[in-house]
Chain A
Amino acid sequence: MNAGVTIWRCANCHAALFPEPLLCPHCHGAAFESDRVHEAVVEEVSVIRHMIGQDNWQPRRIANVRTIGGTLMTVGLRDESGPGSTIELSEEGTAPFGRAKR
């Protein structure tokens, strides 16, 4: 697991984007620099209690979060953080996760 989550910054207008785009939706610039974001605020949470096609599913928590720079992403929550909480972001492969900021 890596600290922070990779986002992409438009080299032209500096918009912070996730997932990775081909052209910037704001200025249609084609060049991006990768960056990492480390914190976000939880906006909404859901507990996934049932997964289609799986019998032995253990509930998991997911959340919509907004990074300090305003990027919106969906993360897996590792704890009981709720709306309004600030969380630390991390990455497993290409998947973003978060837990309460220590």
Chain B
Amino acid sequence: MIPENKQGVDARHEAGHDGREVGNRMFNNAAIIGVGQSAYTRRPEPGQTALHFMRDAVVAALKDANLNADAIDGMAVASFSLAPDAAVDLAWKLGLSLRWLAQDTNGGSSGMTMLGNALRTVEIGTADAVLILGGDATGLAGYAKVAANYNTATQKHLSPLGHGGPNGVYALVASRQIKKYGLEKSDYGHIAIAQREWAAKNPNAVYRTPLTMDEYLAAPLVADPLSRYDCVPVVAGAQAIVVARPDRAPKGRPSVRVRAHRGSYNSDNQLGDGLQTGISTFAKDLWREAGVRPDDIDVASIYDDYPTMVLAQANDLGLISGNDLARFCRVTIGEQRFPVNTWGGMLSAGQPGGHAGGLNGISEAVLQLQHRAGERQVKNARLAVATGYGMTMYRYGGTAAAAILERAE
């Protein structure tokens, strides 16, 4: 699906480094069988909390999976808005009695990390049906507090500078990327504009009005060189996914299997330049284990808090031929040769916390592979790659995870 890219890892005939047979699915007894999302909104109604959005997402996902709540015996949740409650309190409020429970704190990679853990849990039979849940409704002031207190490094060494939260951190990363790869500001614009075009076909996206390059370039700077459309908009909302045995999938609808899943946490101790994510540490293994190559992929969901990080992750995955980021922006994305973030991404659909935002990318991959993406459906989509990236530790994010998903007939 990426005609100019032949550089990817040839995975089909290599042995796995850990001796595992490659080319088979990593998970044979676990699949994604349902997805659901709440409404996304820039301004929640008074009294409308993250928990209400999460409830709506759960109800939608259960309906989509054609399961009653009693069938759920495992749950993984990630949210900035749970405290002082924990995951078990949420289980109580949802009336779920569970055999497996996890709370994830890996930010933008939480969705992908929880997916891997849920798949492993169902695969080995610890639970039969796992609900994966993320959501937030911090509001702008609440998000500012979260961003100023991500971790002790941020509290002690960044917030007192007035660093602007992640916008300031990724502004500096973007400057490095522009310098290293010879990018122009408009290159980031191609990503924002393409994703807005996809968002116009997604009724759940918060921003759906088409965006022109002139509008993109004229937008006010937020943190040089990042301007308004380079920065993910904070919204309220929630997202849920159901993982269960493949035979639990609603009749007449293919489940979505995961051929391979990998994660990386603190890959370089913040000693690098942030232009390589943790994905670079496992991309070869991911493709090898999946038994496919980057140019086999039909549709991609790349975690998009900033266009800068879409490019970094896509490059780490081997989706960008010859590390030519400029050409990828101008030709592959600008000329719509390869579908990336077909739900509009967080840049247009909105980011209800990185946790739910990451889950939305996975959900979109599922909808595309099940051929349920409506107007934005990619024809005959059979293989997808999805990523998560997050936890702005000091100079850039420290967590990343990715999966290769396939339509299972």
CA distance A60 to B145 in the complex (A): 18
In the complex, per-residue mask of B138-151: 1 if CB is within 8 Å of any chain A CB, else 0: 00110111010000
CA distance A92 to B164 in the complex (A): 18
B394, CB-defined interface residue at 8 Å: yes
Chain A residues within an 8 Å CB radius of B203: none
Complex partner residue of A76 from B141, B162, B169, B175, CB under 8 angstroms:
B162
Chain B residues within an 8 Å CB radius of A25: 269, 271
CA distance A92 to B162 in the complex (A): 13
**Given A52-B143, A52-B234, A95-B157 in contact, is the A74-B164 Cβ separation under 8 Å?**
no
A102, CB-defined interface residue at 8 Å: no
A100, CB-defined interface residue at 8 Å: no
> In the complex the two chains form, is B165's CB within 8 Å of A52's CB?
yes
> In the complex the two chains form, is A46's CB within 8 Å of B271's CB?
no
> In the complex the two chains form, is B161's CB within 8 Å of A51's CB?
no
B95, CB-defined interface residue at 8 Å: no
CA distance A63 to B156 in the complex (A): 16
In the complex, per-residue mask of B70-112: 1 if CB is within 8 Å of any chain A CB, else 0: 0000000000000000000000000000000000000000000
> In the complex the two chains form, is A44's CB within 8 Å of B176's CB?
yes
> In the complex the two chains form, is A64's CB within 8 Å of B395's CB?
yes
**Given A19-B156, A45-B175, A47-B221 in contact, is the A52-B147 Cβ separation under 8 Å?**
yes
> In the complex the two chains form, is A48's CB within 8 Å of B162's CB?
yes
In this complex, how many residues of chain A approach chain B with their Cβ under 8 Å: the count is: 30
Complex partner residue of B395 from A45, A54, A74, CB under 8 angstroms:
A74
A73, CB-defined interface residue at 8 Å: yes
Q: How far is the CB of A95 from chain B (nearest CB, A)?
A: 4
Q: How far is the CB of B273 from chain A (nearest CB, A)?
A: 9
B220, CB-defined interface residue at 8 Å: yes
Q: How far is the CB of B288 from chain A (nearest CB, A)?
A: 28
B381, CB-defined interface residue at 8 Å: no
Complex partner residue of A49 from B144, B224, B270, B271, CB under 8 angstroms:
B224
> In the complex the two chains form, is B172's CB within 8 Å of A64's CB?
yes
A37, CB-defined interface residue at 8 Å: no
> In the complex the two chains form, is B157's CB within 8 Å of A73's CB?
yes
**Given A45-B175, A48-B163 in contact, is the A19-B224 Cβ separation under 8 Å?**
no
CA distance A63 to B223 in the complex (A): 12
CA distance A82 to B279 in the complex (A): 32
Chain B residues within an 8 Å CB radius of A45: 175, 224
B348, CB-defined interface residue at 8 Å: no
Q: How far is the CB of B143 from chain A (nearest CB, A)?
A: 6
Secondary structure call for the B interface = helix
B158, CB-defined interface residue at 8 Å: yes
Complex partner residue of B223 from A49, A72, A92, A93, CB under 8 angstroms:
A49
> In the complex the two chains form, is A48's CB within 8 Å of B223's CB?
yes
In this complex, how many residues of chain B approach chain A with their Cβ under 8 Å: the count is: 38
> In the complex the two chains form, is A46's CB within 8 Å of B223's CB?
yes
Chain A residues within an 8 Å CB radius of B168: 46, 48, 62
In the complex, per-residue mask of B266-288: 1 if CB is within 8 Å of any chain A CB, else 0: 00011100000000000000000
Complex partner residue of B161 from A44, A53, A60, A72, CB under 8 angstroms:
A60
Which of A48, A64, A94, A96: most chain B Cβ within 10 A?
A: A48
Interface residues of A in 9-68 (CB under 8 A from B): 18-19, 25, 43-54, 60, 62-64
CA distance A83 to B364 in the complex (A): 41
A97, CB-defined interface residue at 8 Å: yes
> In the complex the two chains form, is A46's CB within 8 Å of B171's CB?
yes
A89, CB-defined interface residue at 8 Å: no
CA distance A94 to B160 in the complex (A): 8
B15, CB-defined interface residue at 8 Å: no
**Given A44-B176, A46-B172 in contact, is the A51-B164 Cβ separation under 8 Å?**
yes
Complex partner residue of A95 from B161, B165, B234, B394, CB under 8 angstroms:
B161
**Given A19-B394, A72-B395, A94-B156 in contact, is the A47-B143 Cβ separation under 8 Å?**
no
A75, CB-defined interface residue at 8 Å: yes
Q: How far is the CB of B152 from chain A (nearest CB, A)?
A: 8
CA distance A73 to B43 in the complex (A): 36
Chain B residues within an 8 Å CB radius of A53: 140-141, 143-145
Complex partner residue of B220 from A18, A49, A92, CB under 8 angstroms:
A49
Across the two chains, which residue of chain B brings its CB closest to A50?
B222
Chain B residues within an 8 Å CB radius of A76: 160-163
Which of A43, A45, A46, A64: most chain B Cβ within 10 A?
A: A46
Residues of B within 8 A of A (CB): 140-141, 143-145, 147, 152-153, 156-158, 160-165, 167-169, 171-172, 175-176, 179, 220-226, 234, 269-271, 394-395
Rank and list the top 3 A-B pairs by shortest CB-CB distance, nearest first. A53-B144, A95-B160, A76-B161
